[in-house]
Amino acid sequence: MKKNVLFWMMLLPMALGIVSCTDVTDNPAPVVVVDDKPFPYDADIDPSVRPGDNFYEYALGKWLHSSNPAPSLFKQISEQNKMLTDEMLTNCTAPVVAQLRSQADEMMMGDSRTFDLLAQRLQLLEQVTTGEQLFDAFGALQGWGYGTLFRLVPGVLVGRQTTNVFMAGSMTDEMKRAVRMKKQETLDSLVNVYCGYLAGFGFSQERIAQIAENARKIETLEMNAYIPGIEMLRHPMKAKRWAPEGEDNTERILGMMGVTNEDVTALRFVPSTQEVLQLLVLFSQADEDPEAIEAFRDYMIYNVIAQDAPFIPSIDQETTLPAMLKRALQNNRYYMYRLLTEYYGYDRIYKQQCNDILENMRQLFIQRLENLDWMSDATKAEARQKAEAMLFYVGYPEQWNDALTPTIDADFLLASVTQLRQNAREIILNMAGKPLEDIGWDLWASMAGFTTDNAFYLGTANSLVILPAEITKPRFDYDLSEATLYAFSTTFSHEFCHGFDASGSNYDAQGQKRDWWTPEDKQAFQAKQQIMVELYNQLEAYPGQPANGQKTLAENMADYGGVELALELYKQRLTQQGFQGAQFDEQIKKFFLSYAQIWKDENQFDVEYLQMLYELDTHSANHVRVNGMMRLQDEWYRLYDVKETDKLYLKPEDRVKIW
């Protein structure tokens, strides 16, 4: 027996050697993987800052304190898009653009026909003295596509059907910015500037002052009614789903706007704020109040001159040929969107790559749902159904709708602009009542803009839209390390997770507002939300002011889900590529540094700006977004040696886990 044991013991090393040789031949040791693509963001690191005290300052410190910092991504994209737009407007050979360019050039050379037509419209408004005349003038402006006081935009009704939605009247970009930031002084200044143009049309200084005073009254109401947290793509305000009840003029006003009886019967329009209700009621009752007639008449005069004076160089001294073309084409967003996409080039928009990442995120989210220990099977099934049903609209449509291309047969600029406006109005009216799946891109491209550096999720449509500026260089750059791509992809997963945040979780797979949670799961979810609120309350929005975790809850939850999904996808990608050990860790550090790059902000040390954001924005300040996310990531603690004494440190049991 002992001899046998000794015999096998003697053979064992030989046997092991044979096996070892076989393994080396058939399964060679993994080759060290190297990320050989550029990663420029190490240059911004400030090593004097402990990552655990302020990761935003650590990752971006050299840039933040540079005397001549390179532009942030937001600024780079803004400058690039302006250049792209100007190039397209100058070089595009599409018939409509060529015709508008020719007419704008004639205006620059002194063509008076646009001036004459605008003068006629201003005089039509100036002659209003009764409620009957006021409503007639309002109807005429609506017919010309203006929407000076109220306008319609397509809105998504539950069940993925479209309806027409009330919103504030048309505004210039400058007016929108002032309203959005609630800058009363800026708004008042703009009113004075635009009303000052009326002198060129024979209005006296006394009359101009009166028009400006009345315009400010209405503009202030609109500014106060504006809700930045729920508006979509920076629309002025959400006066939606409402019809004034019991007023003699209601049906007439709605008819002028294109709202049918079926629209009103299908769904009562509900105001988003008391100011919206006040605006609409005041207008519907204007024929009973001479002061209201004067106020709304003067507001229309101001709005028309603000919209159209930039088409007349002799009135607006700063107008240029590209500016005139841009303002003209912005009246038909769908067409402008298509022109820019085709001019920019489909090969420069990473549509397919973005789609692939989104689909992988969808599947990862569904997998993670199954592993949640705080959610019941019943709620998981509803959440899975919602994730599977979410519609993705990425970059641009697969097929453009040629029927939406405007036809222009006018022979001078303002007449052509009027046709563009009328065409855009017809597009909106024709969308009402149609399934979103049939007209999705018609809707989104008509409301958004190619050059808008944004993505958004709409709960009532259960749809996620990624605009082209989000998936082009320099933000989405396949020439850089993949760590940057996946970090920047947190934008996509952020919007995806809006479907399951404090707000989106109230809507089901079809966009119906419905509580699809079991009571126990809802309670557990709300408890996790409260932890998130308290964690963000611990951070500082600006010196001396704690962040508002409750106000920013939905966005913070979307940030959390976005980082969780994108980081997990990147880990899977690294594993597939063979990264391991120190090389794997180095790539994850690049991911965290790249995430900070997304939120580079030239205004980081502008306390007044940070105070304004704190008051108005439902997003956390950029440094809070970065630091708040890092302290919830276990690997961040390990990779950056974060200690209990560091300011951002959270005990493991306090790091809330949701998805």
CB contact at 8 A, 503 and 554 = yes
Among 160-164, 432-436, 489-493, 527-531, the range scoring the smallest mean pLDDT is: 160-164
Which residue has better confidence, 176 or 146? 146
d(CA 235, CA 276) in angstroms, rounded, equals 14
For the chain, what percentages of helix, strand and coil (3-state, to nearest 5) are there? 60, 5, 35
DSSP label at residue 153: E
What's the confidence (pLDDT) of residue 623? 98
Has residue 236 got a pLDDT over 60?
Answer: no
Task: Return the H-helix or E-strand segment holding 337.
Answer: helix 333-344
Q: Is 371 exposed, middle or buried (0-12, 13-18, 19+ CB in 10 A)?
A: exposed
On whether the 94-336 domain is CATH 1.25.40.10, my answer is no
User: SS3 string of 242-307?
Assistant: CCCCCCCCHHHHHHHHCCCHHHHHHCCCEECCHHHHHHHHHHHCHHHCHHHHHHHHHHHHHHHHHH
Residue at token pair 């097929």:
399
**Closest CA relative to residue 85, chosen from 322, 250, 269:** 322
Has residue 228 got a pLDDT over 60?
Answer: no
What's the confidence (pLDDT) of residue 16? 32
Has residue 280 got a pLDDT over 80?
Answer: no
Q: How does pLDDT run across 640-653, given as a tens digit for each residue?
A: 999 999 999 999 99
d(CA 163, CA 515) in angstroms, rounded, equals 23
DSSP label at residue 420: H
Q: Is 57 exposed, middle or buried (0-12, 13-18, 19+ CB in 10 A)?
A: buried
Amino acid letter for position 205: Q
What's the confidence (pLDDT) of residue 27? 53
SS3 call for 164: strand
What does the block give as tokens for 137?
């003038």
| pLDDT bracket for residue 595 (50, 70, 90) | very high
Task: Return the H-helix or E-strand segment holding 546.
Answer: strand 545-546
SS3 call for 541: strand
Has residue 13 got a pLDDT over 50?
Answer: no
What average pLDDT does the segment 365-393 reach?
96
What's the confidence (pLDDT) of residue 263? 62
What's the confidence (pLDDT) of residue 266? 54
CB contact at 8 A, 530 and 556 = no
**Closest CA relative to residue 462, chosen from 388, 525, 391, 394:** 391
d(CA 632, CA 656) in angstroms, rounded, equals 7
Task: Return the H-helix or E-strand segment holding 351.
Answer: helix 351-370
What's the confidence (pLDDT) of residue 453? 80
What average pLDDT does the segment 312-328 reach?
90
The per-type count for the chain, helices as H runs and strands as E runs, is 27, 9
Has residue 8 got a pLDDT over 60?
Answer: no
CB contact at 8 A, 46 and 62 = yes
Report the alpha-carbon angle 535-540-546, nearest 5. 75
Q: How does pLDDT run across 189-227, given as a tens digit for each residue?
A: 999 999 999 999 999 999 999 999 999 998 888 777 766
Q: In the chain, where are the structural domains located?
A: 73-77+350-394+449-654, 94-336
In this structure, is the dihedral angle defined by the CA atoms of residues 641, 643, 645 and 646, taken in order, positive or negative?
Answer: positive
Which residue has better confidence, 442 or 27? 442
Has residue 25 got a pLDDT over 80?
Answer: no
What average pLDDT does the segment 230-254 reach?
47
Has residue 230 got a pLDDT over 50?
Answer: no
In angstroms, how far apart are the furthest CA atoms of the chain? 122
What average pLDDT does the segment 435-444 reach?
93
What's the confidence (pLDDT) of residue 138? 93
Among 108-112, 183-187, 479-483, 580-584, the range scoring the smallest mean pLDDT is: 183-187
What does the block give as tokens for 495?
């919007």
What's the confidence (pLDDT) of residue 433? 84
Beta-carbon count within 10 A of 551 CB: 18
Among 37-46, 235-244, 504-513, the range scoring the smallest mean pLDDT is: 235-244
What percent of the chain lies above the pLDDT cut of 90?
Answer: 69
- On the CB side of 170, CA atoms within 13 Å amount to 25
CB contact at 8 A, 308 and 120 = no
Q: What is the dihedral of CA 283, 274, 175, 81, to 10 degrees?
A: -120
Has residue 507 got a pLDDT over 60?
Answer: yes
What does the block give as tokens for 116?
């004459």
d(CA 558, CA 530) in angstroms, rounded, equals 15
CB contact at 8 A, 496 and 358 = yes
Among 392-396, 455-459, 493-497, 570-574, the range scoring the smallest mean pLDDT is: 455-459
Amino acid letter for position 218: I
CB contact at 8 A, 298 and 210 = yes
CATH number of 73-77+350-394+449-654: 3.40.390.10
Q: Return mean pLDDT, the chain.
A: 87
Has residue 231 got a pLDDT over 70?
Answer: no
User: SS3 string of 47-88?
Assistant: CCCCCCCCHHHHHHHHHHCCCCCCCCHHHHHHHHHHHHHHHH
Tell me the angle at which helices 553-577 and 581-598 cross, rounded to the nearest 10 degrees: 150
What's the confidence (pLDDT) of residue 29? 53
What percent of the chain lies above the pLDDT cut of 70?
Answer: 88
Q: How does pLDDT run across 62-115, given as a tens digit for each residue?
A: 999 999 999 999 999 999 998 999 999 999 999 999 999 999 999 999 999 999
**Residues found in the chain:** 659
CB contact at 8 A, 122 and 302 = no
What average pLDDT does the segment 335-356 reach?
94
**Closest CA relative to residue 592, chosen from 475, 484, 495:** 484
Chain-centre distance for alpha carbon 486: 19
What's the confidence (pLDDT) of residue 261? 67
pTM: 0.88
